[in-house]
Amino acid sequence: MSTVTFESPHGWGTAQWVGLRPEEGARRQVELAIPGVLTWGYEVAGSREEDEAIFEEEGRVCLVGRVRWSGEDGVTALQLGSDLVLVAIANPPVLMPTHLVIRAPRLQLFDVIACAA
């Protein structure tokens, strides 16, 4: 895996590229994954911000989005534009806020075209 910087309609960040590294400046359709389980109150919190965003803060990629659904097991779907990002949350609150900020220790990007092949 290699590290890449990416841009999207919601912002930018740094992620691990899974697969063959794309050419610099290439436009790709990707799937974003947040590996592992994140902890409520540390890496995940409610957000007053309602605008979807991706940015970096203190060495972490941050995602702000709307909660589409959340299961009892802590698996939560966060909406960023027309896309959903699944995240596993340890110790989630009983009443999940409508918007979350996720401070991911790392992100992974997968090339959607390569996955479909």
Confidence of residue 115 (pLDDT cuts 50, 70, 90): low
CB atoms within 10 A of CB 72: 7
CA distance 54 to 39: 19
pLDDT at 114: 54
Residue 112 predicted with pLDDT over 90? no
Q: What letters, b where the CB count within 10 A reaches 16 and e where it falls short, cover 44-71?
A: bebbeeeebbbeeeeebbbbbbebeebe
CB 87 within 8 A of CB 68: no
Please say if the pLDDT value at position 117 is more than 90. no
For 41-58, give the DSSP string.
TTTEEE-S--S-EEEEET
Residues 95-109, mean pLDDT to the nearest whole number: 95
Distance between CA atoms of residues 82 and 102, nearest Å? 18
- Is the CB of residue 60 less than 8 Å from the CB of residue 7? no
Report the distance separating Cα 87 and Cα 116, nearest Å. 22
What is the rounded average pLDDT for all residues in the chain? 92
Distance CA 92, CA 29 (A): 31
Instruction: Provide the percentage of residues in the chain whose pLDDT is more than 70.
Output: 97
Q: Residue 6's pLDDT is what?
A: 93
Q: What is the pLDDT of residues 21-37, one digit of tens each?
A: 888 888 888 899 999 99
pLDDT, one tens digit per residue, over 8-20 is: 999 999 999 998 8
